[in-house]
Each structure stands twice: as structure tokens, then as C-alpha cells.
């Protein structure tokens, strides 16, 4: 309902930078061992949505217009100069070879996005992709981005090792940014991903002897959701602002945007699991109940349908539990409440940008929040 206003395409605003993303990521992932090389690059073949790099690049551009932290400018200039944008491992069982591959990288696409921020965008996608490789093993997934999942294609062992390899290469690229605070942020993200996944596996908020809805269940779910999804987006937004030398207020605003957008993003993900088909998603639908997971739509449904308590308590393990839980959720207003909460977070994300000067990149960030609510997969 935006009347005649032309729709903003966030991708167009950073198209030049995005164009090199997949190629650069594949360069970061080169290995002299052919099967490792293939497994590591597997999820870079089918075009992902690249949501995280897109947000990092838009945030980099939007914050370039914000006030700077005077004492940090010097350090940032040094850090950017130290970035080697030409990492192309060529040796067998490859160490990085910093002097190789200079030919394919343009010097600087846009003055307002630093090479270090572009590299950060690649690092966020690497960490995200590593988490998908591990996640598909944990979830016994058979498809991802419309193709067989890596665990199905290569087996669990190779899929786990490929994920570890991505994290290793992401860590090297991160270290090369020579920015201690940014390294700390992204290293914390990796720990947070594991913490979130653990919270999901071991649901200690639920008291098995008292299967009644409690506010704690929702608090636990949101904490888990922050760790699992919003940590990466929020801390990489913060890191983008830091690399650009932005002042403390801007850095905090960037973080707040990422946190709220990340929470909205996962809430929508969790409701799409109920409302869309496998064909539409490019990955199995209805997967969360099958995995024994009670996400937001069910937690809201549970509030008015105490019958769900027993099913939650046994993780929908008995015959017919999944179908029954699904029916109850669909009869409830759980989906609508989940959407409403996602809308709240998206609005908060947009409000976080209020101090940013008007720019195309800022409009792009607003549009990302709008699109998060509209997305169908």
C-alpha cells in the first residue's frame, strides 16, 4: 500500500558490491583437496537470498553518512589498507596465498563502502552458510535452496567438516580485518549460534511436570531466536558501522536495527513453516513440529489451547501428535499473533534508523524490513 511511490529495490542500491559476492566467497573457500573444495562450495552454487551480506552492505553505505567517532578514524583507515582483497588459495591443502588472484577484483566499487565492509559482508555469509551445513545435519534435512542438502549429497561427516572449514576460512578473513572489536563481535556470533542451537535442543524452560503455558516459554523462545538468528545480523550491522568509523550512537542504532530485523526475520521463518509448502520454500515445510520444536505460532496457540501442553511435553513424539498440533495451531490465532509480533519488531528496526540522514541506502534498509514481513520463502 505505497500508492504510486516507486518501489525501492535494496539489491539495486548495492548491486555493484553484490555482484562480486559469490565469486569472492568461492575464492575464500578454495581448497587443493577436490572433495573438500566441492563440499565447501556446494551451498554457494544455488543462489541463496544473501540477506545478511545485503544488510551489511546497505548498513555500510547508510552509516557512511553518519557522524564519525574522531578517535577511530585513523585506525579504520589503517585497517582498510591492510585488507587483502585478493585472497585466492592455490597451494595444495591450501594456505592463503595473499599475492595470488589480484587480477579479478576491482579496486574499489564505491567510495562509501570500504573494502573491509565488503569483506565483512562475505564473512557473514560464510558463517551463515557454515551454520546451514551443520543445521542440516542436526535437522536431518534432505533439501536446501531447492537442491539436495549437503548432508544428503556428501554424508554427515563431510558436511560437518565442510562447515568447520567455512568457519576456519571465515576466521582467517576476519583476522585480516585487523580490527579487534569486530573480530570479537563475529567470534561471539559463532558462539551464539551454538548456544541458540543448544537452547533449541535442550528446552529447559519447559517444566515437563507442569505442561501449562507460561510466559517463560515465550521469553526462552525469543532468547533462543536472538542467539540463533538475530545475533549474526545485529552484530554484523554493528561491525559494519564500526569498520566505517561511525560514532557510538550510530553503532548502537545499527545494532538495534539488526537485532529487531533478525527477530522479525526468524518469526516470519517460523510462521512460513506452518503456512507454506515444501515446493514454495525449497526446503521441507512443517519441519519444526517434526523436529519436536514449539515455535512462536504454537506457543501463542498454546495460551488458549491447554491441550497442546501434553504434546509439547513429549515433543510431538506419539503417532498423530504432529497432525493434531498442526490442526490446533491452524485453528488458533497463533499465526496472526506471530505475524503481529514480527511487525512490531520490523517497526522497531525501522525506528532505529531515525537518526540516519536520508539516503538511498537508508531507504533500502527500511525496505528490507518491509520485505521481511512480505517474504514467502
- Choose between 199 and 349: whose C-beta lies nearer to Mg ion: 199
Asked whether position 135 contacts Mg ion by CB under 5 A, the answer is yes
CB 128 within 8 Å of CB 134: no
Among 283, 303, 339, 362, the residue binding ligand FPP under the rule CB under 6 A is: 283
Which span sits near ligand FPP by CB under 6 A: 75-83, 97-105, 134-142, 305-313? 134-142
Among 125, 139, 269, 288, the residue binding Mg ion under the rule CB under 5 A is: 139
CB 177 within 8 Å of CB 116: yes
Asked whether position 17 contacts Mg ion by CB under 5 A, the answer is no
Which residues, 6+ apart, have CB-to-CB distance to 284 below 8 Å? 141, 142, 143, 278, 290
User: Which does residue 50 touch among ligand FPP, Mg ion, none (CB within 5 to 8 A, set by kind)?
Assistant: none
Which span sits near ligand FPP by CB under 6 A: 15-23, 41-49, 60-68, 136-144? 136-144
Asked whether position 190 contacts ligand FPP by CB under 6 A, the answer is yes
Asked whether position 53 contacts ligand FPP by CB under 6 A, the answer is no
Asked whether position 130 contacts ligand FPP by CB under 6 A, the answer is yes
Instruction: State the nearest-atom distance from the C-beta of 16 to ligand FPP, in Å.
Output: 28
Instruction: State the nearest-atom distance from the C-beta of 150 to Mg ion, in Å.
Output: 12
Nearest to 329 by CA among 279, 282, 280, 270: 270
- Which residues ranging from 251 to 270 are in contact with Mg ion (CB under 5 A)? none
Instruction: State the nearest-atom distance from the C-beta of 193 to ligand FPP, in Å.
Output: 4
Among 163, 211, 258, 334, the residue binding ligand FPP under the rule CB under 6 A is: 163
- Choose between 130 and 159: whose C-beta lies nearer to ligand FPP: 130
The residues with which 147 forms a beta bridge, in sequence order, are 144
Amino acid at each position: 500500500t505505497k500508492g504510486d511511490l516507486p518501489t525501492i529495490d535494496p539489491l539495486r542500491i548495492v548491486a555493484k558490491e553484490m555482484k562480486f559476492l559469490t565469486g569472492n566467497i568461492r575464492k575464500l573457500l578454495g581448497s587443493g583437496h577436490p572433495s573438500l573444495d566441492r563440499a565447501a562450495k556446494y551451498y554457494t552454487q544455488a543462489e541463496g537470498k544473501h540477506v545478511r551480506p545485503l544488510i551489511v552492505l546497505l548498513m555500510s553505505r547508510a552509516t557512511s553518512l553518519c557522524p564519525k567517532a574522531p578517535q577511530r578514524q585513523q585506525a579504520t583507515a589503517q585497517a582498510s589498507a591492510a585488507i587483502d582483497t585478493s585472497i585466492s588459495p592455490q597451494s595444495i591443502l591450501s594456505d592463503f596465498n595473499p599475492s595470488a588472484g589480484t587480477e579479478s577484483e576491482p579496486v574499489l566499487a564505491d567510495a562509501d563502502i570500504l573494502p573491509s565492509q565488503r569483506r565483512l559482508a562475505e564473512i557473514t555469509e560464510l558463517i551463515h552458510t557454515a551454520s546451514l551445513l551443520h543445521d542440516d545435519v542436526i535437522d536431518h534435512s534432505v533439501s536446501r535452496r531447492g537442491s539436495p542438502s549437503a548432508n544428503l549429497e556428501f554424508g554427515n561427516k563431510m558436511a560437518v567438516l565442510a562447515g568447520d572449514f567455512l568457519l576456519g576460512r571465515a576466521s582467517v578473513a576476519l583476522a585480516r580485518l585487523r580490527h579487534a572489536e569486530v573480530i570479537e563481535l563475529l567470534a561471539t556470533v559463532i558462539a551464539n549460534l551454538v548456544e541458540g542451537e543448544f537452547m533449541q535442543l535442550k528446552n529447559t524452560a519447559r517444566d515437563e511436570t507442569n505442561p501449562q503455558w507460561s510466559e517463560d516459554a515465550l521469553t526462552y523462545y525469543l532468547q533462543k531466536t536472538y542467539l540463533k538468528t538475530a545475533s549474526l545480523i545485529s552484530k554484523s550491522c554493528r561491525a559494519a558501522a564500526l569498520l566505517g568509523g561511525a560514532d557510538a550512537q550510530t553503532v548502537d542504532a545499527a545494532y538495534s536495527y539488526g537485532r529487531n530485523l533478525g527477530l522479525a526475520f526468524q518469526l516470519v521463518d517460523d510462521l512460513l513453516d506452518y503456512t507454506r509448502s515444501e515446493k514454495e520454500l525449497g526446503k521441507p515445510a512443517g519441519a519444526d513440529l517434526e523436529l519436536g520444536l514449539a515455535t512462536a505460532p504454537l506457543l501463542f496457540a498454546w495460551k488458549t489451547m491447554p491441550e497442546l501442553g501434553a504434546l509439547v511435553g513429549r515433543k510431538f513424539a506419539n503417532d498423530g501428535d504432529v497432525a493434531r498440533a498442526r490442526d490446533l495451531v491452524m485453528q488458533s490465532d497463533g499465526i496472526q499473533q506471530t505475524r503481529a509480533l514480527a511487525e512490531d519488531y520490523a517497526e522497531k528496526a525501522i525506528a532505529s534508523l531515525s537518526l540516519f540522514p536520508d539516503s538511498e541506502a537508508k531507504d533500502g534498509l527500511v525496505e528490507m524490513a518491509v520485505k521481511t514481513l512480505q517474504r514467502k520463502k
